[in-house]
Amino acid sequence: MDLVIGSGPAGVSAAMALIARGREVTMIDGGRDLPEALLARKQGMASCEPSEWTTQQVADWQSPQFEKSGDGARRYGSDHAQNDIDDGFAPAPWFAGRSSFAVGGLSNVWGSAVLPNRQADLSKWPITSADLAPHYKAVGAFMPIAGRVDTLQAPLPDFDMSAQTPLSPGPQGRALLERFDAKAEKLRTRGVYAGQARQAVRADCKLCGMCLHGCPWDKIYSAGQTLQALQASPRFHYRAGHIAVRFEADDGAGNVMFGDGGKLAFDRLFIASGVYETARLVLASQSDQHAHLTLRDSRHFFLPMLHAWRSGSDPSKRPHHTLAEAFVEMDDPTVSPYLTHTQIYGWNEFYAREMIQNYGSKLPALGPFFRTLARRLMVAQSFIHSDHCDTVDLSLDQATGKLKTSLNRDPLMPSIIKAVEHKLMRSMRQVGLHGLGFASRLGAPGASFHSGGTLPMSNEPRALQTDPLGRLNGYNNVHIVDASVLPSIPATTITFSVMANAHRIASLV
């Protein structure tokens, strides 16, 4: 029996490949899900069209996320999708990584951005982008992908967008994309490729604008949707509510031990718990209690920008979405040998609130001005390749079972980020977007969730490394299939490549 730990994007991708090969598959996970009362509330919102919602219904739907403190994302008014950071990690105020025991994992709260990787950005990997290409296609067969063919196809050709349908952009996004198209050649000569964002969203999205609060109709992809599809197979068995704490294995079989004292036998194990829970599980299963892993992280920064054009219509009015409107890929060897990736977001209901909260107490009369300004505001979230970034050592506290973290600073990271920011600001001025460099903000280590590399694939794996099939060194039947095995983290979006790689491994072993 093949055992898959984790129902997030990597877990369901591996399971889909195994089921397609006729294998018998059992999947276990923590099983946390939306509470019944909140599920009923969600169904109530979905029972009518957005145009029928009252102002009070909208306010009630959004208020839990506005009330949320800290860095955790809340959807549908629930915190179930992210484990409390204090439950899994020893205190480290600078660290922002999160794990999940939820059905579907962190895909319950992701931004749904989707891109393949570029071969030049995989220089340290023992596999190529060509190895991943058929598995991007396989994942695209069960995960919806919205987008279009545009200049992004040139640097990132490994997923064909010709059959896809883009989401309708809001007024800000529409104007920006028109400007990108008009300036495409000029931008391209500067190594800048700008086009419409690609999101894992169904084409029949209702454009209700609730993306950051929870889509009442589940139009944004979650791995839980694929889990439901898997359960239609008689060869697939799902066991919720099991937290794996250790495993043991020999050449032909093994056991996974649970926190409640139970255990489950397997012939082959696929670990897809997410980078932190996989690290905890692997470290707890080693005889060396002083072992540690190194986390690689694609750091990001936020850059507010004001557009010089009039939107024509109010960007806060439906129909619209609040996911990324555009992607910008910058290929400039004077800045980085790797692509840098930027996601540009249009208006959302957080902008004016945050400006008023930050400045309103000192300038209370400017509340209306901030609300007007928010309608001209767009925000860039830019990522750089992990080779430029600080790393984080992870070790297991044997007494508490928590992960201990230690930061290893890269002295060149600040200058790389500043160079990316300056090039982005210069490039965006070409289309009438003016970056507010004084207001840029660097995300904390782990905050972007574009992290992995703790058990990297290698053609010649050493201890606590994996081979190109994700096989953990020292084990013949234990495969790591989540972001832990990525030898580096390119700046482009991580989830699509994690899913493709998990599907690749499970298709071959």
Regarding pTM above 0.85, the answer is: yes
For the stretch 137-159, pLDDT in tens is 999 999 999 999 999 999 999 99
Mean pLDDT computed over every residue of the chain? 94
Report pLDDT for 258. Answer: 96
pLDDT digits (tens, 9 = 90+) for 392-432: 999 999 999 999 999 999 999 999 999 999 999 999 999 99
In 222-309 the beta strands, taken as DSSP E runs, fall at 236-240, 244-249, 254-258, 263-266, 268-271, 292-297, 300-307
User: Quick check: 358 pLDDT over 70?
Assistant: no
pLDDT score of 315 more than 90? no
Q: Which domains does the chain have, with CATH numbers?
A: 3-508 (3.50.50.60)
Q: What pLDDT, on the 0 to 100 scale, is given for residue 364? A: 58
Count Cβ atoms below 10 Å from residue 393 Cβ, excluding itself: 15
- The pLDDT value recorded for residue 64 is 84
Q: Which residue has the higher pLDDT, 64 or 87?
A: 87
pLDDT(72) > 70: no
CB-based contacts of 394-399 (< 8 A; 24+ apart in sequence):
394/276, 394/279, 394/283, 394/292, 394/293, 394/294, 394/295, 394/454, 395/283, 395/290, 395/291, 395/292, 395/293, 396/280, 396/283, 396/284, 396/289, 396/291, 397/90, 398/289
- Model confidence pLDDT, tens digit, residues 249-261: 987 899 999 999 9
